[in-house]
Structure 1
Amino acid sequence: MTTTRQNGSLHTNIQDHIATIEFGHPASNSFPSELLERLAKELITVGNHADVAIIILKSEGKKAFCAGASFDELVAISNLKDGQQFFAGFANVLNAMRTCGKLIIGRVQGKTVGGGVGLIAACDYVLATENAAIKLSEFTIGIGPFVIEPAVTRKIGISGTSELTLDATNWKNAYWAKEKGLYAKVFETINELDKEVEILSEKLASYNPIALTEMKKALWKGTENWTDLLAERAAISGELVLSEFTKKALEKFKK
């Protein structure tokens, strides 16, 4: 079932020390600000849950994994404060994923655009289907993937981020993403994907939880400045979205 709620849906299920956080939105699992805020809070809450060893992050349905930020909200931005706040939504989620204290497995069933690629990059281990193509199309509307860039570059390197950002109109397939290190494994079907997610999460949940937490810290060493860095990046995007170029580009997309 996919949600029909305009502000999207967020559900957490905790079983056998595994927390599955599932988000959804009728517009290809895109994120309005309210849903991003809820996800950031939920990640921190679940990360502090004593009975949780591992987090699985997934989205609803069988099609897109995530279409990025809400297009309707993007179009409606009319001042710098609102612009910064809008882009800070993904910054807050990435920082929550980084600091929540629990390793995160990403389960990616389909295509992902923009901010959603940042979500994938901020997972600690990602399993995907061969339908899980990715695209950073921000240049086409006069902005750039500034907020998510540190997370993406951390995973796929400068050359991968450069290729993905500059080739803004084309999809990169799941095997490209695997080759670059964004995905650990790629499967032909969602059933195979879910089986592997289950096996991996059960294995991880059986390990020493203190070792898992310490490994999370080790993997994210060197990102301590992200709270300030991502806020600065949100400010850059907030300014760009008000530019004449972007306003005209968004008008074309609306039509």
Structure 2
Amino acid sequence: MSVQDSNGSLTTIIKNKIATLQFAHPASNSFPRQLLDLLTAELNKLSENSEVSVIILKSEGSGAFCAGASFDELLAVTNLEEGKYFFSGFAHLINAMRRCKKIIVGRVHGKTVGGGVGIASACDYVFASKNASIKLSELAIGIGPFVIEPAVSRKIGKTALAEMTLSAHEWKSADWALAKGLYAATYEKTEELDEALVNFCAKLANYNPEALVEMKKVFWEGTENWDQVLIDRAAISGKLVLSDFTRNALEQFKKQ
């Protein structure tokens, strides 16, 4: 499967029970709502595919892994309904990753901001490069990481979340993310990362698929209320994005 237009691209390749799902967008692999919806739909489809046991989630290029939400679409929000609609895209994606019957292994090759950190946190296992630093910059633009917070907190805990959120202008290193549990392993070279990723997923794909499905359920126990929680959080972000503070901050960020 391959989809490509002005809103980015999404490609799926299935081989040896491993589905490699790659997203891309010219603006540092950021997410407009349409691309979020495409990724969500593809994960839901792969979840029911009996020929797939493992999903590798990656992004295109050698720059940023994911720059989070599309600034252009954030600036285009004009009312509460539009704001909630946009942020609910991340809610639907994280819930799709949570409910997906397949183990999702993330490949984080570069810097990751905001919603991208949420996506990495919603993976079941993450391989990362040493330059894959992370940042939650939402407070700096007048909102907060409300929708992704449950996924991030589940991985790194509330204390580390507070450290990231309140230091909104500060990058946390890949070593920090590894120590906090967001990353399972980090590598100096992309070639080393990919070799480890392929070997790991090949082994995983040969395990009993029924056992993998049941383990996935165990990993996500206690998150059954997220369907409503994340949508409620989307409404909070949708309200805040309309503030003058956020409008001005987004305009300044775009000029950088």
The TM tier, using the shorter chain, reads over 0.9
Q: How much identity, in percent, do the aligned residues show? A: 61
Q: Which residue of the partner structure matches residue 15 of structure 2?
A: 15
Distance in 2 (CA, whole Å) between partners of 1:126 and 1:76 is: 33
2:27 alignment partner, SS class = coil
Q: 2:118 maps to what in 1?
A: 118
- State the alpha-carbon separation in 2 of the partners of residues 71 and 62 from structure 1: 21
Which residue in 2 is equivalent to 1:105?
105
1:147-158 mapped onto 2 (5 Å cutoff) = 147-158=147-158
CA RMSD of aligned residues (A): 1.1
What is the alpha-carbon distance in structure 2 between the residues aligned to residue 177 and residue 94 of structure 1?
A: 19
1:112 Cα shift? Answer: 0.3
Give the C-alpha shift of residue 5 in structure 1: 4.2
Q: Give the count of matched residue pairs.
A: 253
In structure 1, C-alpha distance between the alignment counterparts of 2:76 and 2:32, rounded to whole Å: 12
Cα offset, 1:6, TM superposition: 2.3
Q: Report the 3-state secondary structure (helix = DSSP H, G, I; strand = E; otherwise coil) of the residue aligned with 2:196.
A: helix
Structure 1 residue 233 corresponds to structure 2 residue 243 = no
Distance (whole Å) between structure 2 residues aligned to residue 48 and residue 97 of structure 1: 13
Paired amino acid for 1:28: S
3-state secondary structure, aligned to 1:107: strand
Secondary structure of the residue aligned to 1:19 is strand
1:63 matched to 2:63? yes
> How far apart are the structure 2 equivalents of 1:140 and 1:156?
21
Question: 1:100 deviation in Å?
Answer: 1.2
Counterpart for residue 138 of structure 1: 138
CA deviation profile, 1:21-59 (whole Å, cap 9, x unmatched): 000011111111100000000001011101100110000
Q: Helix, strand or coil: the match of 1:51?
A: coil
Aligned to 1:161: 161
Alpha-carbon distance in structure 2 between the residues aligned to 1:254 and 1:156: 30
Equivalent residue for 2:186?
Answer: 186
Q: CA deviation at 1:206?
A: 0.6
Q: Residue 208 of structure 1 corresponds to which residue in structure 2?
A: 208
| Cα displacement string for residues 94-117 of structure 1 (whole angstroms, at most 9, x for unaligned residues) | 000000111100001000000000
8 Å CA contact 2:112, 2:133 repeated in 1: yes
Q: Is the 8 A contact 1:4 1:25 kept in 2?
A: no
Distance 1:127 1:68 in 2: 19
Aligned pairs (5 A) from 1:28-47: 28-47=28-47
Unaligned segments of structure 2, at least 5 residues: none
Letter in 2 for 1:88: S
In the TM superposition, what is the alpha-carbon distance from 1:174 to its structure 2 partner?
A: 0.2
Counterpart for residue 53 of structure 1:
53
The two structures have a TM-score, normalised by structure 2, of 0.97
Aligned to 1:30, the other structure's residue is in SS state coil
- 2:167 and 2:220 map into 1 onto residues whose CA distance is 28
Partners of 2:66 and 2:253 in 1: CA distance: 19
| Counterpart residue type for residue 191 of structure 2 | N
What secondary structure does 2:123 align onto? coil
Unpaired runs of 5+ in structure 1? Answer: none
Answer whether contact 2:131 2:174 (CA < 8 A) is retained: yes
